Structure 1
Amino acid sequence: MPLPDLNLIRVFVLLYETASVTSTAERLNVTQPSISYALARLRQQFDDRLFIRARHGMTPTMTARQLYPPLRDALGQLEATLGSMQEFDPASCSQRFRLALTDLGAMALLPAIYQRLQKQAPCIELEVIPLEIDRVEEWLLSSKVNAVICSRPIMTENLEQCVILRDRYVCLGRTELLGPKPISLKKFLAIRHALVASSSGHSLAEDVMRRNGYQRKVSLEVPHFSVLPRLLLASDLLAIVPMQIAKEFIHDSKLDYHELPFSVPEFDVTLYWHAGYSRSPAQRWFCETIMNAIKEI
């Protein structure tokens, strides 16, 4: 059986990852009929339906599930190799890059990252994808995103990484609620808390408290850090947040932060990307530009 051409492989991989003809067409900047035609050719090539329309999108058949890993990997290696043979000019690049990060990352890091990217490559597009910590490995290995910024270690093979900053956790609340520094453990545990969901990737302090048997009074759980300033200003709640973002939150407000009354290790904020794409000049430029932007903060 002859191998499908590169464009057909791209269509197959994106259809598998997006489960949508519309999304695949948008990603490839072609029409939906073009994707339907490519799918018909793929079905003929492999003598299988490959994808079946279902309620929640295009569901892969068993044959498609078997084909996806090797075709995904082969596509990544081939595109990286072809890219390494071409000169890359950021000024003329119109590629769309996808970066996954938390709402904290968007608040603290995105302005500097975007400014640096736009200065060098004004025609590129940057799509920011909300971080889902349990899916970042899948996203990186499937090339759904070009890079991820997060504080939770990712130990998967075939990923490269670079620590872009170090941070620590503090407790944040209204100045009059916190009182004089330092806050005691007894007072810290007695005050009610707002907890940011562990899906944000920030659960280190919670893990330390659990190991030490500290039980704080969690009255509210929220999915994102960005809601905390107005929430804390209007309540008698404390929250544990990274130091970098605490400084942003207390600017021109009645909030303050104290060091935690127990020891929590500092943590790294790390940039991750698929090792297979390191030979791509565009990918290298994207990651290096993010690193340089963070250094300037």
Structure 2
Amino acid sequence: MELEDMDLNLLVIFNQLLKERKVSKVAENLGLGQPAVSNALARLRKLFGDELFLRTSTGMQPTPFADQLAESIGYALGMIHSAVNARSSFDPASSKRSFSVGMTDIGEIYFLPRLMQCIRDVAPLVSISTVRNTAVNLKDAMEGGQVDLAIGLLPQLKGGFFQRRLFVQRYVCLFRKGHALDKKTIRESEFYAADHVAVVSAGTGHGKVDEILDSNSPQRRVKLQVPHFVAIGHILQTTDLVATVPERLAERMVGPFDLRYVSHPVKLPQIAINLFWHAKYHKDPANQWLRSLIFDMHAG
């Protein structure tokens, strides 16, 4: 197949079908009639020699070949969109732009204080809002421009996305100052003999660590479970509980809550924290500015 045989609009419809899985929804999004979308799908099937999408009770499901095409087509359309919508410049000193960033509660604790300090100094009229990575369809929200950047361990952001490593961190044991484990190193047996608070943070990548800790024998004694990390400092400050947390979160909490942390005695995987953005906005000056600001502050 040669490029001159391909109508770019057909690829736009293909990409929409991947996202919506319904001809009627694609027609609504693109301001077309359903027959026009159906006709475009017929042309795509003929061009590629594949059914591409099969009607099921749950909508139009992509064939294996359509899944194979998805990443390349999404990336290509994103780059084209970025090129034709590129702005000549972005002036942070005068911009009143509002940015939305996807991150976890850990991200808010670790990133936001320094980010807001920098924005105050170099972009005083810029504002930031955050969304939970698990509270929205992050892939669609970033493609649509509702979320500008996302930070974290996000394996679901693949086709059509760029990413850049911010840092790799380990897990540590966190507890109040004066705790029985408040010493240079602790043994695995001491860790499992303690009482624990566990953070059940679905969809954030931390579940693997809980699986490892709770597959050992003996298992840790979990006295409290919470759905997020925000309250951990308050909880540890006034109890003898122990928490397993990422080291950079521990660094932020030891001062305000009078806590201590030590290296974890259990062998746990390190976690890579990346910065993600959609290919559509790869060359957008405002997006480039914010991601450069974040990377420069926290790389290393």
Question: Structure 1 pair 129/192, CA: closer, same or farther in 2 (3 Å)?
Answer: same
Tell me which residue corresponds to 2:260. 256
Query: Which residue is 2:185 aligned to?
Result: 182
What is residue 275 of structure 1 aligned with on the other side? 279
Task: Confirm or deny: 8 A CA contact 1:194 1:239 kept in the other structure.
Answer: yes
Please tell me whether the aligned partners of residues 112 and 294 of structure 1 are also in contact (alpha carbons under 8 angstroms): no
In structure 2, distance between residues paired with 1:137 and 1:213 = 39
Residues in 2 aligned to 1:114 and 1:209: alpha-carbon distance in whole angstroms: 35
- Alignment check: 8 A CA contact 2:162 2:276 kept: yes
Distance 1:148 1:194, change over 3 A: same
> By how many angstroms is 1:231 displaced?
0.7
Residue 116 (structure 2) aligns with: 114
Please give the secondary structure, in 1, of the residue aligned with 2:146. Answer: coil
- Residue 192, structure 1, aligned to residue 153, structure 2: no
Unaligned ranges ≥5, structure 2:
1-21, 33-73
Structure 1 residue 253 displacement after superposition: 4.5
2:221 aligned residue (198, 210, 217) = 217
Report deviation, 1:181. 3.7
Counterpart of 1:90? 92
Q: What is the Cα deviation at residue 157 of structure 1?
A: 0.8
Cα offsets for 1:125-167 (capped at 9, x unmatched): 2112233278433432343210011134445211101111221
Contact 2:143 2:280 in 1 (8 A): no
The amino acid across from 2:246 in the alignment is P
Provide the rounded CA distance (Å) in 2 between the counterparts of 1:69 and 1:181.
Answer: 62
Partner of 1:233: 237
Q: Which residue of 1 aligns with 2:24?
A: 63
Q: Deviations over 1:228-268 (max 9, x none)?
A: 11211222211111111212222164421121111113221
Match of 2:126 among 101, 107, 124: 124
Deviation of 1:117 (Å):
2.8
Give the counterpart of 2:175 among 151, 163, 173: 173
Give the gaps of 5 or more residues in structure 1: 1-60
Query: Structure 1: how far apart are the matches of 2:217 and 2:137?
Result: 30
* Aligned twin of 1:47: none
CA displacement, residues 156-213 of structure 1 (integer Å, 9 cap, x when unaligned): 2111011112211001112323144422222212222111123244234223335656
Query: Residues 192 and 221 of structure 2 are in contact (CA less than 8 Å); yes or no, is this contact kept in structure 1?
Result: yes
Distance (whole Å) between structure 1 residues aligned to residue 159 and residue 294 of structure 2: 22
Structural RMSD (CA): 3.2
The count of aligned residue pairs is 237
Q: Which residue of 1 is the match for residue 291 of structure 2?
A: 287
Q: Is the 8 A contact 1:190 1:217 kept in 2?
A: yes
Q: What's the offset of the Cα at 1:62? A: 5.9
Residue 119 of structure 1 deviates from its aligned partner by 2.7
SS at match of 2:286: helix
SS at match of 1:80: helix
Question: Which residue number in structure 2 is paired with residue 161 of structure 1?
Answer: 163
Q: Do the aligned residues in 1 keep the contact of 2:188 with 2:265 (CA within 8 Å)?
A: yes
Would the aligned equivalents of 2:92 and 2:123 in 1 still touch at CA under 8 Å? Answer: yes
Conservation of the 8 A alpha-carbon contact between 1:204 and 1:264: no
Letter in structure 2 aligned against 1:245: L
Report the secondary structure of 2:180's partner residue.
helix
Length-normalised TM-score, structure 1: 0.69
The correspondence for 1:206, drawn from 188, 207, 210, is 210
Name the CA shift for 1:69/1:118 in 2 (closer, same or farther; >3 Å).
farther
Counterpart for residue 151 of structure 1: 153
**Residues 1:243 and 2:247 are matched in the alignment:** yes
Please give the TM-score of this superposition, normalised by the length of structure 2.
Answer: 0.68
Cα distance in 2 for residues equivalent to 1:288 and 1:75: 24
Asked if structure 2 preserves the Cα contact closer than 8 Å seen for 1:197 and 1:222, the reply is yes
Q: Which position in structure 2 is the counterpart of 1:15?
A: none
- Identity percentage of aligned residues: 28
Tell me what 2:270 maps to.
Answer: 266
> Letter of the aligned partner of 1:156 in structure 2?
K
